[in-house]
Chains A and B, each alone.
Chain A
Amino acid sequence: MLKVDNQQYFHSVHLMEDKCKGCVNCIKRCPTEAIRVRDGKAHIIEARCIDCGECVRICPNQAKIVVADTLNELNGYKYNVALPAPAIYGQLREGIDPRLVMAALLSIGFDHVVDVAFAADLVGKKIREAISAPSEIRPFISSACPAVVRLVQVRFPNLIEHILPVLSPMRAAANIARNQVAEKTSLDLKDVGVWFISPCPGKVSAINEPAGTGENTISGAIPIAEVYPLIREKINHCPEELDRIVADSKPGSGLGLGWARSGGENQSIGGSRQIAVDGIHSVIQILEDVERGKLSDIDYIEAQACVGGCVGGVLTVENSFITRRRVRILATESADRLDGVLRDKIACEALENEDWFRHDKPIEPRPTLKLDDDMATAIRKMEQMEKIVEDLPGLDCGSCGAPNCRALAEDVVRGLANEMDCIFKLREKVRQLAVEMMELAEKAPPAMGHVEKKAEIENAIGEHSAKAEPDTNK
């Protein structure tokens, strides 16, 4: 639906050309060097973009936008299910019970709600089992954050086998939703819309282009920011209406809810040989260490592209430091709900089935670094690139449209840019040309009367060169 023709990969992050001023803020911030400025506008190199949303965050002109679904899409289905990401609960003021938010979703047009925190409770249990089993691979990397999964595919293809092949809570929630809908109604599944209420562009892309699952069970993603004002309105002004529907919803426990913030996933899994890392640039540092074999004493890495975890997603509304606190409080208050979640009929069935939470498709690498398919050519380009880098000023100013001098050199050998795109190289060249022009100007023909002052020179056969007269014109 959102996919543009001849696009190789799906992306939710797009550029509003008329707003882009061609400043270099986004190219400098992008963790995969996926943006170049050309003709005064930012261009995203599709194969490299991981939809982390960093450029959306940094753009001073709001030219980067996230294209997601809207509530209007619900009209295309007979029955609609909302899958609210746990991050949504932290958006509302303190004291609002998650059940009230679920009820509010039902009152704004959805027919059924499956709390993603509920699925997270089950996924946490499955991850615990998976990492307790003996394995050569250490550490495992969480597959919950799609931007991190894509980062591994693009920049760390060596680490793909480290991604734990357990479904993300979002996928698990979608499967639960299908089971529940089938039990409750006699509808054909193609008439059922399943909508993730998303905190980030990464999830939007992951829905349209799943990694690790073959069949897509989610219809689309609707930003938290879009449903937030409607939900707040309902909670503030129609509490009686919500009270009537609230009983129907099955919220996750505090542990599941905790997935909304960095560290919550590890808490839900339990154990101590785990680390939590948030913010895409910090994630890159940790993955570098994993590649060096440095973290083999760690079992599991909870890695999230956004600072603070999902509550820091660009499709949320509240400041992430405030929402982190709210999520923590909510998680503590609902800690005792876990037993209820685990006793649920569908949850029990899912937990007993060995394959229910497993990825059914391998995650493919998407390496983008290779300079050429032929290694000999690639080596030649590499050498050429190194020479160009030595020649560039090394200021990494971004004026050429590439994020740094090395990236420009790479673009040059790939045939995508020119050395003279460097403003300093260009000025140097202009200066050289100016000097040459001055020299040429001095060499005006003697007939014009401006002859250089030169001592008379006698050549071997006794001829005299034109004798320079003292310049009387000056």
Chain B
Amino acid sequence: MHFVFEVQGGDFNKAGDASSKVKKILQQIGSDSAVVRRVAVACYEAEMNVVIHAHHAFVTLDADINQVMIVVEDEGPGIEDIEMAMTPGFSTAPDYVREMGFGAGMGLPNMKNCSSQMEITSRRGVGTTVRMVFDNA
């Protein structure tokens, strides 16, 4: 099963649409509700990161009976220091984003907690790819 959704950077109105669709698909195939929840939360955080930091991204969902994989591939500034970015509370979100209640620096740590495997590759000035794997029990 393979699905692709587009996410537009800066579009706060549509933020959350991709993760809602992912959530509904997993509910429809009958994934365990705890799994649905973890994927939905992680996917939403990743989607928010795109909306806050990047220009554009594709979110792909691949799932079979054993596992769910979410890949978020964006075109954007890239992450300067991935280890730093993974630190809870560290954020490079601009002030206007924080005023909206986002950018608390918990996105990446949250995604890591929710998924059973997470990999980030990033190239400065080009973009970032986050790959998350979940057990679909």
Contact = CB atoms under 8 A, between A and B. Distances in A.
A378 B33 contact: no
Contacts of B44: 292-294
Nearest to B24: A369
A158 interface: yes
Contacts of A379: 1, 29, 63-65
B69 interface: no
B30 A378 contact: yes
A386 B3 contact: yes
B53 interface: no
Interface of B: 1, 3, 16, 19-20, 23-25, 27-31, 33-34, 36-37, 40-41, 44, 63-65, 110, 136
B3 to A, nearest CB: 7
Interface in A146-162: 157-158
Contacts of A291: 23, 37, 40-41
Contact of B16 (A292, A367, A383, A386): A292
A134 B36 CA distance: 26
Nearest to B44: A292
Contacts of B41: 291-293
A369 B44 CA distance: 21
B28 A382 contact: yes
8 contacts: A157-B33, A158-B37, A288-B20, A292-B19, A376-B65, A378-B30, A379-B29, A379-B65
A276 B117 CA distance: 38
A293 B40 CA distance: 9
A440 interface: no
A370 B37 contact: no
A447 interface: no
A291 B37 CA distance: 7
* Residue in B29, B31, B65, B136 whose Cβ sees the most chain A Cβ within 10 Å: B29
- Chain A: interface size category: 20 to 34
B72 to A, nearest CB: 15
Interface in A353-412: 365, 367, 369-373, 375-376, 378-379, 382-383, 386, 410
A370 B34 CA distance: 15
| Main SS at interface, chain B | helix
A378 B32 CA distance: 13
Nearest to A386: B3
Given A292-B44, A369-B24, A378 B37 contact: no
* Residue in B28, B31, B40, B110 whose Cβ sees the most chain A Cβ within 10 Å: B28
B3 A371 contact: no
A158 B33 CA distance: 6
Given A289-B16, A369-B24, A371-B28, 19 more contacts: A158-B34, A158-B37, A288-B20, A291-B40, A291-B41, A292-B16, A292-B19, A292-B41, A293-B110, A369-B27, A372-B30, A375-B29, A376-B65, A378-B28, A378-B29, A378-B30, A379-B1, A379-B63, A382-B29
Interface in A277-308: 288-289, 291-294
Contacts of B24: 369
A294 B104 CA distance: 12
A372 B30 CA distance: 7
A288 B16 contact: yes
A375 B135 CA distance: 14
A376 B110 CA distance: 29
A372 B110 CA distance: 31
Contacts of B20: 288
A403 to B, nearest CB: 15
B27 A292 contact: no
Give the top 8 A-B pairs by smallest Cβ distance, nearest first.
A292-B44, A378-B29, A369-B27, A370-B30, A293-B41, A158-B33, A375-B65, A158-B37
Contacts of A369: 24, 27-28
Contacts of A292: 16, 19, 40-41, 44
Nearest to B110: A293
A85 B40 CA distance: 38
Contacts of B19: 292
Nearest to A155: B27
Contacts of A371: 28-30
